[in-house]
């Protein structure tokens, strides 16, 4: 098994999709390329705590690699170990490094 660094990926929480326990929120992930992904996830997974919308949330991810894109530092991340994916089934993203909080060794 490969050893990837665990981190947290910033998401934008845009609304409540289902209030029934445990509750689900709608979120967006913006890739460095400008592509926006939409998904629905359980509130406890993203750490939502009754804030106004839109607001930031975080989902766990693995950092697969560091990339440079148009002079920006980007990271390739994977959310599949936590079963978090978009409506289209996407779970790997290339995002601006400022949207990832990498774990410290």
Evaluate if residue 22 carries a pLDDT over 90: no
Q: Which residues contact 20 (CB under 8 A, 6 or more apart)?
A: none
pLDDT surpassing 70 at residue 4: no
**Reduced to 3 states, what is the DSSP secondary structure of residue 14?**
strand
User: How many residues are there in the chain?
Assistant: 105
Structural domain boundaries in the chain: 5-102
pLDDT tens-digit readout, 42-54: 988 887 777 789 9
């Amino acid at each position: 098994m490969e050893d990837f660094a665990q981190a947290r990926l910033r998401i934008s929480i845009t609304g409540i999709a289902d209030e029934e326990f445990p509750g689900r929120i709608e979120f967006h992930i913006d890739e460095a390329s400008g592509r926006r992904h939409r998904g629905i996830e359980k509130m406890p997974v993203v750490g939502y705590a009754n804030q106004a919308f839109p607001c930031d949330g975080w989902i766990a991810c693995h950092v697969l690699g560091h990339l440079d894109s148009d002079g920006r530092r980007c990271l390739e991340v994977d959310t599949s170990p936590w079963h978090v994916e978009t409506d289209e089934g996407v779970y790997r993203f290339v995002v601006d490094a400022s949207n990832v909080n990498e774990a410290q060794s």
